[in-house]
Chain A
Amino acid sequence: MTPEIGHFALALALGMAIVQSILPLLGARQGRLLWMRSARTTSIAQLVLVAIAFSALMRSFMVSDFTVLNVAANSHSLKPMLYKIAGTWGSHEGSLLLWVLILTVFGAGVALFGSNIPEELKARTLAVQAWISTGFLSFMLLTSNPFERVFPPPPDGNDLNPLLQDVGLALHPPFLYLGYVGFSIVFSFAVAALLEGRVDTAWARWVRPWTLAAWMCLTAGIVLGSWWAYYELGWGGWWFWDPVENVSFMPWLLGTALLHSAIVTEKRDAFKSWTILLAILTFSLSLLGTFVVRSGLLTSVHAFAVDPERGLYILFLLALSIGGSLALYAWRAPEMEPGGIFKPISREAGLLVNNLILGVATGTVLFGTLYPLFVEAVAGEKISVGAPFFNATFVPLMLPLVLVMGIGPFLSWKRADLPGVWQRLKWVAALSVLLTLIMSYLRDGGPLLAHIALLLAFWLLFATVREWAMRIRLFDVPFVDSMRRARNLPRAAQGMTLAHAGLAVAMFGFIGSSAWKSEQVVFVAPGTTIEIAEFDVTFAGVDRVRGPNYVADRGRLLVARDGQKLTELFPERRYYPVAESSTTESAIRSTLAGDLYASIAAPASETAEKTGAWTLRILYEPLVNFIWLGSAFLILGGALSMSDRRLRVGAPKREAAPSAATTPAE
């Protein structure tokens, strides 16, 4: 019964979405307030209905109702409850339902909390949002119904994949989707603005909290996925330039550009058509991600089960939404009058450079990701594009951005005084060079690019701190006054400082763990000692241990430095008899200076098994934890910026009544 309720709720939600696609638009055109306001009701109704469907599916998973095909294929009665619940969004159908749920959450969010947005803009935005949900709800009902029944029901479920039973996996997709799909509302705002033919500073302000919310969630989603791969999967790295990683990274890059260009639109009424284009493209790239993961277009470790019919339907949706919005853009954007004028040296110009670099970087990643497809289509050859391409193109592209990031916040709007800025930054530059030289002396070797990147990371960190110190006039006024200023700084400014510093901190992690990483894969017999970085690792042997639902070979490694015992590591190779699969549990000694990371693979060979020799993989990743620390700064910076007073207080143009609730639901 429950699955049928869910199915029915989905169909009703589709009905609501169709009404909402049309009625508010007509209302906005004819000036009928009642029709415009209907979008509020239907948005909330859509959320409630999709939430009912989602809960119905979740309940089927929780009670292991194997008459539901999706549950039978993706769950098992012996799974722990947490992973039964997480199984709801583990399959193609379930994750699509989560996708639509988040879509409706953002729609209802604007309907509920957007009281300072003019009725017409709100009605059009929600109508556009309903177009998207109509597309995806029909996709789900026609090709990927999560509530399909199976008869006769199988005695138990199919899936117990132990690799996927992890908290990282349970949390990583929802956050990623909150980010991906969160950009839908920004897209809807942009299309609505194109329909109205008007973009102004107030529009940029209304859009900002939604962009920030989506950006934060996407950041968190990407970082969680990276963290999961690093710590749980035992991949021994945090980023692999896999196509599916890339398609999540592209909306992030472009979303970051959007955040910055929207500032110019908000403060200076400029970059208007550019901001609109970025809003459209960011969500287009999110849709592209959905398409790539579900169509089997590219080879990837992440892909869902492939079905060409589904791929065709999503491509059709993509053509409608992306093609339609870009055609509308081509038609309407040229009419938008350019706003404020600025000099080549100014805050605007700095942000323009930011946008150009981020745009080109996104293009590079897009090109590298799809290049195998292009080559196959044109030349019929099979190739793959891997990390070397991205390291050689993307990294050098991003470094000038970091240079500009240090200077940008010092520049004033319209026209900036570069010698004055240099006056403030010369000590920052000197200190960065000095520290880089010391670091390079201490840790010689490594590619030149790494040393340059290190210099820029120092530069960004100190310039950001310097800018903050300037704002609070540290050491110019008594310390107490400075602290008072620090407290009274706008949250948006503090958010920027934190996020920029966060990138610098994360950069130390990126650089350390890629340029100075050491790795050894060796056959070891008990008693062998391996030297890696400054550690001596002694392999003491392997024991057979029993877990709750697995048996494991557990290696014992004694770690010492300069003859002094530091710790013991116990990497495991687990075998799950019920699921007939094995996992690698790496062991990590984690400090701020770096991670010593060990995993055992298998007996070195069949003859070696008797002597107890194993294949051992040991990695030392210096500074890798700075990545997670810096990422946390980025997310916190976004949160701080979102809590800025000006985003909560209604925009001055419309109802001036302050409302405390412009922040979206998290």
Chain B
Amino acid sequence: MKRSLAFLPFVIAVIFGGFFLWGLNPERDPNEVPTVLISQPAPEFDLAPVPDIQTPGLSRDDLVGNPGPVVVNVFASWCVPCRAEHAVLTSLVERDRIVLFGINYKDKPEDAARWLAEMGNPYSRIGSDSSGRAGIEWGISGVPETFIVAPDGTVLFRYVGPVVGDTPVRKFRAALVEAGALPKGGA
């Protein structure tokens, strides 16, 4: 048996080990779904307001020309994680003066109104997407999802799932800082 041949398994194992070491990078999330919307203009949509509440509806035009980046949150009254996320979003609006828009996804208007009455309404605009059509345009994979949109209508960031817990909130705040919606160094 040739000596060089006997080394082959060892060499292959070392190469594999290198890939594994790379794969353990804590910043890497194998479950992350890449989004095609990043750095692209936000999709066209025009949604009527949820009936019986005072908040106006939401369309593509409302995303453009704001003084700073805005946050678009896709939520529904039937979505349990949205309930947990609600508190985080509310504090972002109340403490950090973030502009928050909502897309009420595949929800019954009366359920949505009741939910907002019960939990409070941090959204300055809410579009009612009862058919789910706008959700398809945005390419969402589930509820909740949260986007950051620049004043020129470009999508800067997408977060899949609820922004709840230390790591997701930190990630989201970092994205807001980068977008210029929060001052640098703000906790």
Contact = CB atoms under 8 A, between A and B. Distances in A.
A382 B32 contact: yes
B36 interface: no
A118 to B, nearest CB: 25
Interface stretch (B4-12, B81-89, B97-105, B143-151): B4-12
Interface string B51-90: 0000000000000000000000000000010000000000
A164 interface: no
Interface string A515-537: 00000000000000000000000
A202 interface: no
A372 B17 CA distance: 15
A277 B9 contact: yes
B22 A377 contact: yes
Interface stretch (B23-31, B41-49, B179-187): B23-31
B2 A323 contact: no
Contact of A297 (B9, B24, B80, B108): B24
A330 B24 contact: no
A659 to B, nearest CB: 35
B6 A315 contact: no
B30 A330 contact: no
B26 A377 contact: no
Interface residues of A, number: 37
A278 to B, nearest CB: 10
A318 to B, nearest CB: 7
A319 interface: yes
Contact of A308 (B7, B9, B14, B24): B24
A310 B9 CA distance: 26
Nearest to A324: B10
B38 to A, nearest CB: 13
A323 B17 contact: yes
A329 B1 CA distance: 12
Contacts of B23: 295, 297, 373, 376-377
A662 interface: no
Classify the secondary structure of A's interface with B.
Answer: helix
A333 interface: yes
B17 A319 contact: yes
A315 B10 contact: no
Given A330-B7, A374-B19, A284 B13 contact: yes
A327 interface: yes
B21 interface: yes
Given A273-B1, A318-B17, A373-B23, A298 B30 contact: yes
- From B14, B32, B108, name the one whose CB has the most chain A CB atoms within 10 angstroms: B14
A322 interface: yes
A326 interface: yes
A382 B20 CA distance: 16
A143 B143 CA distance: 35
A580 B2 CA distance: 62
A642 to B, nearest CB: 29
Nearest to B22: A377
Given A323-B17, A326-B10, A374-B19, A382 B1 contact: no
Contacts of A299: 30-31
B34 A308 contact: no
A201 to B, nearest CB: 19
A281 B30 CA distance: 26
Contacts of B95: none
Contact of B20 (A315, A334, A338, A580): A315
Given A291-B20, A374-B19, A377-B19, A308 B26 contact: yes
A374 B12 CA distance: 14
Interface string B110-149: 0000000000000000000000000000000000000000
A580 to B, nearest CB: 8
Interface in A274-303: 277, 280-281, 284, 291, 295-299
Contacts of B2: 334
A336 B5 CA distance: 14
A187 to B, nearest CB: 14
Nearest to A337: B1
Contacts, number: 75
A311 interface: yes
B10 A327 contact: yes
Interface in A365-379: 370, 372-374, 376-377
Nearest to B17: A319
A70 B185 CA distance: 37
B30 A329 contact: no
A312 interface: yes
B10 A330 contact: yes
A329 B32 contact: no
B24 A295 contact: yes
Contacts of A311: 24
A325 to B, nearest CB: 9
Given A323-B14, A382-B34, A334 B6 contact: yes
Contact of A373 (B1, B19, B26, B108): B19
A315 B17 contact: yes
B174 to A, nearest CB: 19
B1 A330 contact: no
A295 B20 CA distance: 10
Interface string A46-57: 000000000000
A356 to B, nearest CB: 15
Contacts of B31: 299
Contact of B6 (A323, A329, A373): A329
Given A323-B10, A334-B6, A297 B1 contact: no
Contacts of A326: 9-10, 13
A579 to B, nearest CB: 13
A333 B6 contact: yes
A272 B80 CA distance: 60
B14 A329 contact: no
Given A315-B24, A322-B13, A334 B19 contact: no
Contacts of B16: 370
Nearest to A363: B12
A273 B6 contact: yes
A383 to B, nearest CB: 10
Contact of A315 (B1, B21, B34): B21
Given A377-B22, A377-B23, A382-B34, A334 B9 contact: no
Nearest to A384: B30
Contacts of A322: 13, 17
Contacts of B7: 330
Contacts of A338: 1
Contacts of A277: 9
A336 B33 CA distance: 50
A458 to B, nearest CB: 38
Contacts of A284: 13
30 contacts: A280-B9, A295-B20, A296-B30, A297-B20, A297-B30, A299-B30, A299-B31, A311-B24, A312-B24, A322-B13, A322-B17, A323-B10, A326-B10, A326-B13, A327-B10, A329-B6, A330-B7, A330-B9, A333-B6, A334-B1, A334-B2, A334-B6, A336-B1, A338-B1, A370-B19, A376-B28, A377-B22, A382-B33, A382-B34, A580-B80
Given A277-B9, A280-B9, A333-B1, 17 more contacts: A284-B13, A295-B20, A297-B20, A297-B30, A308-B24, A315-B17, A318-B17, A323-B17, A329-B6, A330-B7, A334-B2, A370-B16, A372-B30, A373-B20, A376-B28, A376-B30, A377-B19
Closest 5 CB pairs of A and B: A326-B10, A308-B26, A330-B7, A330-B6, A299-B30
